[in-house]
Every structure is written in C-alpha cells, then in structure tokens.
Amino acid sequence: MLENNVVIEENAGHTLGPIIRKITYAIADPIPGQKVSGFLKEKGYSQQNLVNLKKDEQSILINGNYEHQNYVLQKGDRLTLQIRESESSDGILPAKLPFTIVHEDEDLFVIDKPAGMPIHPSRNNPDNSLGNALAWYMQEKGIPFVFRCINRLDRDTSGLTIVAKHMVSAAVLSRMVAAKSKPDVICKSKLRSGSGLETQGIHREYLAIVQGNVEPPEGVIDAPIARKESACLERVVDSCKGNRAVTHYRKIAEKNGNSLVLLKLETGRTHQIRVHMKYLGYPLIGDFLYNPDYADNQIDRRQDRIENTTMEGGMKKTRLNEQLENKLRSKISENNLQEGSTEIEQEDCQQCEVERLRQYDIRRQALHACRLQFPHPMTGEWMEFTAPLPEDMQWLL
C-alpha cells in the first residue's frame, strides 16, 4: 500500500535542498530477508535513484526513525522516502509561454503541447520550448525543477507529452517507455501498485491527416527504421541497418482525397509515423521532410521568423504568403470551369477551390498525439488522457 498524502515540506536548510516529495509504503507481506534497497528496485527505482538517496542520511525512515538501505523489512513496517532536489536544469531559461496542463500531481505533468513549440531549448530556440515554459511555472512556485520529458514529440507535432517532476517518477516512467508492449494488449486487472509497472508500458495514440485514400483501411506496418545516410535529420526504412519499428493504423475518415488516420505505436523510433506513412505511400499533409508537395514548408518556416508571422501569446501565427497565393491561383486555373457560367458562379467556384486548397497553408506535419494510457509511476493507478484535434488540423477536414 502506498500513502502519498504528503507532497512538499519546506526544509531549505538541508544541504541537499528541500523535500519535494514524501512517499510512504505500508509493508504488509515482505519477502523474507528483503532489504530496503531490494524493495525499492522492485518498485522501479533505478540504481542511480538509490545512489542519490544514499547521499542523504535522512532520505529513508522506518516507522519514523532514520535507517539505511540495508535495513531488512519486517511485516507492519512503514517505509518513508524523502526525495530532495536542490538544483534546477542548467541552460534552461525560465520563460513565460502559453501551454496547457491536462494533469498535474506530485509526480508528473501531462501537457498538451502546441505545434511549433520544441520540447527542449536549442541554439535556434533558446527560450521558446516546453522546458522554458515549465521552468517558469515551477520557478513561480519556488520549487527546484529538473526538466525530464518522458515521451518527446517533434517540434511541429502537437499533443500529449509526459514530464516527470522528480528523479524517481522519471526513472519509472522511462522504464515504461522502454517497454515494448503491444498497444492492444492492456490488462488493467493485472496492474499492481509499483510492481512490474514498466512491463505495462506507455500506450500512445496519434491522429494524422495523410495524402490519399488509405488502402487497406487498417493494418500493421512492421518496417525497420534507420538514419538516412548523409542526412542528420531524415530517417528511412532500412531492412539491413534499421531498428525494428511497428505502427498500427486505422483509417477513420476520408475527405477531399485525404485520410484521417488513427495510429498506435508499438515502438518509439524517431519520426516513426512520418516515415512509415511515407513508406506505405500516404505521406502526412504538411510534412516538409517526407512529403515532396510540402518541401517549401522548410523554407517558409525560416522566413516566418522575419516577415510572414504575427506573434500572439508568444507563439507563431502564420498567414498565407505570396508563394501560397500563387500556388492556389495556379491550381485553380488548372480546373475547367463550365463554359457559360456567370461571373458570380465562377467566383463562388473559385472561392470553394481556395478553401479546399488552403491545406497547403499548414506549416507543419498534420500529426497530433491524441491519447496517452499508462499506470501511474508511484501508485499504479491506471491513467488515461485525451487531447482534441487542434484547429489547424480540423480545418483540413
């Protein structure tokens, strides 16, 4: 049994910083001879977690008294862990940015990340990442915070991502990510608090809008992925050098020659969905890297920083540029309007074409992380979160 009603205690005078999480386990039926260290490993604590806890003589209490990790647990014991962290992430500047917290508790955040926001700061994006935003949020609360994102999303992919609040939840969640669980094999009845959580895995679902009418309408893509030679970013299906990658997909709807597809990941390779859908012959709308029709998006994004954007709430808001307008006009001119139609009818028809072809204005791959399912890293409670399709993707439908 896990008791987690105490979350933060101020103890700034301690050399290792304030207690940011206090966790109590009720020991009901211990394994004979099991030490504290073995019990914690069984709960998913990493070896580095144990090393860090060992540095603090006040990190472990048995029945209210300080003990070491070699203490042998007895029936009826109350084991309390005090997790301290004194430092925040180096190199991440706090920045007040808009983002949506779907869930927050003592151990983790679930964030609905907007498109255009990188997960981590970089040379080109030093102060507009999710890391910057959360650093500001925690700074305002006066709590040390090391940014530990668990399931990373590409900059231009929107949707749900998990961020751990402390070293232990980060370790357990990271082991879940590493687990290669099949997305359709989810046995909630077998979930137990702490024990074996990593075998359950983190189950992720995505919505994508792809070019073409996907056939067959559902299936499994089992194709290994590797880095493309002479390219630092692009990936390809490579049966010789690639790592195994498995994606389950199902077409939900088809409109205007495009398909809305639900995808579940069995593995988590870089650009997995984008590479697999291109391999299947249905690249994502807006994908400058894997869809040749949108190669200009890569150039347009650079120009957006200078001349083609307005700023709203710290995030980019694009508008149609001259290149897009020319593309729309050229495509409209290719259509054969009925001879003898009135000027008003032709204008209405052209307006319909403009609306249909505005899909070319999407400045990112049409990919959204819409659902997360996983057991809570500390309590084992089954958790499920969803995020609605963002406006720019709704517009395409």
Residues assigned a catalytic role = 154
Contact 134, 105 (CB under 8 A): no
Phi/psi of residue 102, each to 5°?
-80, -35
Q: How far is CA 303 from the centre of its chain?
A: 27
Q: Which residues contact 181 (CB under 8 A, 6 or more apart)?
A: 199, 200, 201, 203, 266
Name the residue type at position 35.
Answer: K
Structure tokens at 205: 């679902």
- Three state DSSP letters for 154-205: CCCCEEEEEEECCHHHHHHHHHHHHCCCCCCCCCHHHCCCCCCHHHHCCEEE
Phi/psi of residue 373, each to 5°?
-135, 130
Distance in angstroms (rounded) separating the CA atoms of residues 284 and 115: 15
Please calculate the CA angle 180-183-189 and round it to the nearest 5 degrees.
95
Distances (CA, A) of 84 to 81, 89, 168: 10, 15, 11
Q: Which helix (H) or strand (E) holds 391?
A: helix 391-396
Peptide bond into 377 cis (omega under 30): no
Contact 265, 206 (CB under 8 A): yes
Q: Which residues contact 282 (CB under 8 A, 6 or more apart)?
A: 210, 211, 212, 214, 259, 261
